Structure 1
Amino acid sequence: MEKFLKDLFAGQSYDENNFFLIAGPCVVENEELLMEVADKVSGWCRNLGIPYVFKSSYRKANRTSANSFTGIGDEEALALVKKTGEKYKLPTTSDIHAHEEAAIAAKYIDILQIPAFLCRQSDLLHAAGETGKIVNVKKGQFLSGPSMKFAAEKIRQTGNEKVILTERGTTFGYQDLVVDYRNIPWMQEHKAPVVMDVTHSLQQPNQTSGITGGNPQLIGTIAKAAIATGANGLFIETHPEPSKALSDGANMLRLDLLEGLLQQLVELRKVVSKF
């Protein structure tokens, strides 16, 4: 495991050879939701030796419809993410959308996440790198794994070597995504841990309703394949009641299904690590 990840997870009891998990509800809806998810997921991860990062977006800036929920307010949401991390002694992450947000968000969270649509924005990547925080860049749906070396280079130009790259599927037609698992080893060649964004890779964008669809029944399939191909970490958005979620409910995993999936993935990781 990279030194910066060891430092990140220093306060947790975990198996260093395990994959790490980034998980939480898509967006900050209220304090109760964050606390419920963090409480349950942190307990499961502790029992399974999985290093865990709590995730929830403080704002959703890339919604299809103008009527979509975007957030409860930036400062309020960021403060709730920080409060959740402090209560459960977890590192935290959220996405940023513009260069001026980097320094603000860095006061509250441990990992700055760059959305896939913005992975080529030089000023955003430079600003994120300059905070000194870990920067997790999601691969654009329009890019190959090898081309992500340029995103990593932009961050490293600031003197920040703490880079994570995330695979989240590739656009296939107008309303679907496919996962090319070659991107996992290809992006690892850029000397960065690679995460598989399981839930977003199952989105079905560009629906005429203005609300993104999804295939959550395939979450286990995508996650197991990612572990089998050597992913360093998994990204899974989860919610107690996805049908009532205010964002991305169509592709989130129901919270009570996560523990069983994690148990399977830990066993699979043990087998894969022998080869």
Structure 2
Amino acid sequence: MNRELKLNENVVFGGKNPMVLIAGPCMIESEQLVMETAQEIKEITKKLQIPFVFKASFDKANRSSIFSSRGVGLEKGLEILSRVKKEFNVPVISDVHEVHQMELAGEVLDIIQIPAFLCRQTDLLVAAAKTDKVINVKKGQFLAPWDMKNILVKLKETGNDKILFTERGTTFGYNNLVVDMRALPTMKDMDVPVVFDATHSVQIPGGNGTSTGGNREFVPYLARAAAGVGIDALFTEVHPDPDNALSDGPNMIKLSNLENVLKPIVEIDRLVKKI
């Protein structure tokens, strides 16, 4: 069994603790969207008794096209996420792409997320770890799960051992990802809590030419399978209207469907952990 990582009194990753939900829209499109989505997810997770961390990116720096929307930016985004923390009393997480953003991001974020494409960037990892916040590293689509050991060493060398690893699929040929469920116990054996990213795992990178495609209908199946293997957190991107979202719409869960998607996953999680 992997060790526990306590974020606060309500959110503990690992051990036999209930699966944590990390959820929210892919990108901060507007303050109104973020606040309404956070409120709805908070109500759902309270009803289902799921610990909740709100996620939204202030800057999507790795869009397929230079013409794609990137979000509201660092300062405005952190301001909105700070409001989410205060009004809904939930921790917040966001992607951080550049070293110079770390200090400011660390003042607001409870968890700093390293995007999959950047998971081997040593300076970025070290800067994140030096904030002394919890660091969630998404396993690169190009990495074998056992290669995450090198990333673990980079982070721990700073003295920060508050680390999460996230599985989000592996590149399989062109414009396709597959999930190898063996990656979850492999990374757990490194003594870190493990997250399964159900929505990015169904992406079709670059599948729409200038944007990423996806198959959101497969999200519930993969999430249930991962819960059966054993996970400490489930990462899902959620939007009230995914078909008109400004980023990652094809793989996001529709907000109105979230409760029904989560119910069987929670049951599986409790069965596996004998909660």
Q: Is the 8 A contact 1:55 1:92 kept in 2?
A: yes
Structure 1 residue 2: Cα displacement: 4.8
TM-score by length of 2: 0.95
Give the match for residue 133 of structure 1. Answer: 133
Give the match for residue 8 of structure 2. Answer: 9
**C-alpha distance in 2 between matches for 1:51 and 1:274:** 17
After superposition, where does 1:118-267 map in structure 2 within 5 Å? 118-207=118-207, 209-267=209-267
Q: Is the 8 A contact 1:9 1:51 kept in 2?
A: no
**C-alpha distance in 2 between matches for 1:132 and 1:90:** 19
Q: Is the 8 A contact 2:4 2:193 kept in 1?
A: no
Structure 1 residue 12: Cα displacement: 6.5
TM-score by length of 1: 0.95
Cα distance per residue 1:48-107 (max 9 Å; x no partner)? 221110000000000111111011222001110111121100000000111111112111
**C-alpha distance in 1 between matches for 2:58 and 2:3:** 27
Give the match's secondary structure for 1:23: strand
Structure 1 residue 37: Cα displacement: 1.1
**C-alpha distance in 1 between matches for 2:223 and 2:25:** 17
Q: Is the 8 A contact 2:10 2:51 kept in 1?
A: no
Give the match's secondary structure for 2:5: helix
**C-alpha distance in 2 between matches for 1:208 and 1:30:** 24
* Percentage of matched positions with identical amino acids: 45
1:51 aligned onto 2:47: no
Structure 2 residue ranges without an equivalent (≥5): none
Q: How many residues align?
A: 273
Q: Is the 8 A contact 1:13 1:46 kept in 2?
A: no
- Bigger shift: residues 203-212 or 105-114: 203-212
RMSD, matched Cα: 1.9
Q: Is the 8 A contact 1:174 1:206 kept in 2?
A: no
AA at the equivalent of 1:255:
L
- Bigger shift: residues 91-100 or 204-213: 204-213
**C-alpha distance in 2 between matches for 1:234 and 1:138:** 13
When residues 162 and 91 of structure 1 are mapped into structure 2, their CA distance, relative to the original with a 3 A threshold, is same
- Bigger shift: residues 203-212 or 129-138: 203-212
Give the match's secondary structure for 1:155: helix
**C-alpha distance in 2 between matches for 1:4 and 1:209:** 40
Cα distance per residue 1:6-57 (max 9 Å; x no partner)? xx2315799x631111000000011111111111111111122211100000
Structure 1 residue 249: Cα displacement: 0.6
Which of structures 1 and 2 has the larger relative contact order (alpha carbons within 8 angstroms, sep 6+)?
2
- Bigger shift: residues 73-82 or 192-201: 73-82
Q: List structure 1 runs of 4+ shifted beyond 2 angstroms.
A: 1-5, 11-14, 206-209
When residues 17 and 11 of structure 1 are mapped into structure 2, their CA distance, relative to the original with a 3 A threshold, is closer
Give the match for residue 271 of structure 2. Answer: 271
Give the match for residue 103 of structure 1. Answer: 103
Q: Is the 8 A contact 1:176 1:205 kept in 2?
A: yes
Give the match for residue 74 of structure 1. Answer: 74
- Bigger shift: residues 16-25 or 119-128: 16-25
Q: Is the 8 A contact 1:13 1:49 kept in 2?
A: no
- Bigger shift: residues 38-47 or 112-121: 38-47
